[in-house]
Amino acid sequence: MTESPQKKPGKKRAPRTLGPEKTEKIFAALAHDRPDPKTELEYTSPFTLLVAVALSAQATDVGVNKATRKLFAIADTPEKMLALGEEGVAEHIKTIGLWRNKAKNVIALSQMLIDEFGGEVPRTREALTRLPGVGRKTANVVMNEVFGEPTIAVDTHIFRVSNRTGLAPGKTPDEVEAGLERVTPPQWKKGAHHWLILHGRYVCKARTPECWRCVIAEWCKYSPKTPDPSKVSSLGPKAPKARK
């Protein structure tokens, strides 16, 4: 039996994207649709945003806001958060997933901010990701929202939109982030994170994307497009009754 020839290892090809012309049109349309994009997490300072984003892992913004309104009213600085203590933080965030571990991280990051950063939220990704409970996504959100850096934090919504549209396909959030960094035109990078996350949250939904009202549908690779339910009969021809 002859052995089948082995394939020589070659360079991995980058996933095919939409190309610069369509990418430009997508961001222009998203910007026109939402001219002033911003996070839906409620915050009053860089510190409260940092805590809110850290709490939002595996939780909704609505749920986080409901919990943090009372929390931030009494603890809006690292010093006040430490004074409240882990149990005190836990009491306020029990409605959020993984609340025990998150309460522990909030106290730990508050302590580190005081010990190493003079109580201020650092500006760099390297410093931010050293804080307990703060990963790359959280750091990117804080850098973008607070410090105006053109970072793109890839959550489930951005991951979905990037892959469905063909804007920046990838198998992991890091791959998608790298792709978006590469293809997003400079003038759209500051708002790209917000446009994509809001589009995924309200239009390009996980189970049933609302393609009929999508402003970027004509350039999107997703197929088949979801039709407008108001123009589609909900029931087809009635099935014949079974004979007794």
The mean pLDDT of 95-123, rounded to a whole number, is 97
Active site positions, annotated? 137, 155
Which residue, among 54, 168, 154, 181, has the nearest Cα to 110 in the 3D structure?
Answer: 54
49-53, long-range: CB < 8 A, 24+ apart: 49/141, 49/142, 49/145, 49/146, 50/109, 50/121, 50/128, 50/131, 50/134, 50/138, 50/142, 51/81, 51/106, 51/109, 53/138, 53/141, 53/142
Structure tokens at 32: 């026109």
Please report how many Cα atoms fall inside a 13 Å half-sphere around the Cα of residue 45, on the Cβ side: 12
* pLDDT tens-place string over residues 129-171: 999 999 999 999 999 999 999 999 999 999 999 999 999 999 9
Across the chain, what does the average pLDDT equal? 90
Domains in the chain: boundaries = 20-38+151-219, 46-145
What pLDDT is recorded for position 232?
A: 75
Residue 240 clears pLDDT 70, i.e. is over it: no
Tell me if domain 20-38+151-219 and domain 46-145 are identical in fold: no
CATH class of the domain comprising 46-145: mainly alpha
What pLDDT is recorded for position 243?
A: 41
* pLDDT tens-place string over residues 15-63: 567 899 999 999 999 999 999 888 999 999 999 999 999 999 889 999 9
Residue 3 clears pLDDT 80, i.e. is over it: no
Confidence bin at 231 (pLDDT 50/70/90): confident
pTM of structure? 0.83
CATH topology of domain 20-38+151-219: Endonuclease Iii, domain 2 (1.10.1670)
